[in-house]
């Protein structure tokens, strides 16, 4: 195991997928164990895998998609989204202490949020072990876990001040279970014009835009909307950045080999691309 030290405060949010008891760090950070003796070894790359017994991880992002996500996000093209998440997370009462990023990918956004919240700890839960490997090194106060957003989350009840879901699956019942009273879900979803200059000309799968009503319907009756803010900016992308943008998304898997490169030849050397994202806040219902 070569990853950074496991943050014990972040580990304290986790629950054993077998018996649902709390976990503690054991063997100097080599793994976790619960009071019933169920033990999870930490991967060499630093992440943990906490799936219900007998469950294989769902299909998460591939190694290539994760590499493209790292390149695209670290170039700063989605920094306004990170700033919008920072504002949304900071709203609503005292500074949050515990953040959970569900489908959190490489931990890029969570790391920036933790930088702004010096007393907070965070967890990245993602189906992709390639993403979890990156997330394990995203921030010293973050712990990365391979988990399935559609199963029972490997988290204790009422431990999260904020759950983040950024372009990822959301499970309303489980999110409501793990939020503390007064906690908030912050969810980022693409608006209908998101990436229009790329999606249209490349004939990419048009991801069904998450209409506010449909999003609220998928989260109810567990969570109720508090507010939603539209964020729209232009990213100036060269062809290589467009290629990584496409490569990190769901479109990549559906394009025939070589099709993207051929299409990009017809693109201008630099393209102004609309990024259009709604950031909504939800509170536990009732």
Which of 108, 137, 184, 231 is in the footprint of ligand SAM by CB under 6 A?
108
**In the complex, minimum distance from the CB of residue 69 to ligand SAM, in angstroms, rounded to a whole number:** 6
190 scored as a contact of ligand SAM (CB under 6 A): no
Query: Token pair of 280, please?
Result: 């909504």
Which of 46, 103, 172, 247 is in the footprint of ligand SAM by CB under 6 A?
103
Q: Which stretch binds ligand SAM (CB under 6 A): 26-34, 142-150, 227-235, 269-277?
A: 142-150
127 scored as a contact of ligand SAM (CB under 6 A): yes
Residue 25 or 126 with smaller CB distance to ligand SAM: 126
**In the complex, minimum distance from the CB of residue 48 to ligand SAM, in angstroms, rounded to a whole number:** 14
Which of 22, 31, 58, 80 is in the footprint of ligand SAM by CB under 6 A?
58
Q: Total number of residues binding ligand SAM (CB under 6 A)? A: 20
Which of 7, 148, 210, 278 is in the footprint of ligand SAM by CB under 6 A?
148
278 scored as a contact of ligand SAM (CB under 6 A): no
User: SS3 string of the chain?
Assistant: CCCCCCCHHHHCCEECCCCCCEEEEEHHHCEEEECCCCEEECCCCCCEECCCCCCCCCCCCCHHHHHHHHHHHHCCCCHHHHHHHHHHHHCCCCCCCEEEEECCCCCHHHHHHHHHCCCCEEEEEECCHHHHHHHCCCCCCEEEEECCCCCCCCECCCCEEEEEEECCCCCHHHHHHHEEEEEEEEEEEECCCCCHHHHHHHCCCCCCCCCHHHHHHHHCCCEEEEEEEEEEEEEEEEHHHHHHHHHCCCCHHHCCCCHHHHHHHCCCCEEEEEEEEEEEEEEECC
128 scored as a contact of ligand SAM (CB under 6 A): yes
**In the complex, minimum distance from the CB of residue 220 to ligand SAM, in angstroms, rounded to a whole number:** 20
68 scored as a contact of ligand SAM (CB under 6 A): no
**In the complex, minimum distance from the CB of residue 52 to ligand SAM, in angstroms, rounded to a whole number:** 12
| Chain residues in the site for ligand SAM (CB under 6 A) | 58, 60-61, 69, 103-105, 108-109, 126-128, 131, 148-150, 166-169
């Amino acid at each position: 195991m070569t990853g950074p030290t496991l943050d014990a405060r972040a580990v304290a949010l986790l629950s054993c997928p077998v018996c649902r008891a709390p976990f503690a760090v054991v063997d100097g950070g080599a793994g976790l164990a619960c009071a019933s003796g169920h033990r999870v070894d930490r991967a060499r790359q630093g992440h943990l895998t906490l799936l219900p017994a007998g469950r294989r991880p769902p299909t998460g992002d591939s190694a290539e998609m994760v590499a493209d996500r790292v390149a695209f996000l670290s170039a700063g093209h989605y920094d306004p989204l990170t700033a919008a998440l920072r504002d949304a997370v900071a709203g609503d009462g005292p500074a949050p202490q515990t953040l959970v990023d569900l489908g959190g990918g490489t931990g890029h956004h969570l790391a920036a949020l933790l930088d702004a919240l010096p007393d907070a700890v965070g967890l990245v839960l993602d189906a992709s072990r390639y993403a979890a490997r990156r997330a394990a090194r995203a921030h010293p106060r973050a712990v990365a876990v391979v988990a399935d957003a559609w199963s029972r989350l490997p988290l204790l009840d009422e431990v999260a001040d904020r759950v983040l879901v950024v372009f990822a699956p959301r499970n309303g019942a489980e999110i409501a279970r793990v939020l503390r009273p007064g906690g908030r879900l912050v969810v980022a979803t693409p608006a209908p014009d998101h990436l229009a200059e790329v999606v249209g000309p490349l004939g990419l799968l048009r991801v069904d835009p998450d209409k506010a009503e449909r999003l609220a319907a998928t989260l109810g009756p567990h969570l109720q909307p508090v507010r939603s803010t539209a964020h729209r900016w232009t990213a100036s992308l060269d062809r290589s950045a467009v290629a990584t943008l496409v490569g990190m998304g769901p479109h990549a898997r559906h394009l025939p080999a070589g099709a993207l490169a051929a299409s990009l030849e017809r693109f201008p050397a630099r393209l102004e691309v609309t990024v259009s994202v709604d950031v909504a806040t939800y509170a536990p219902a009732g």
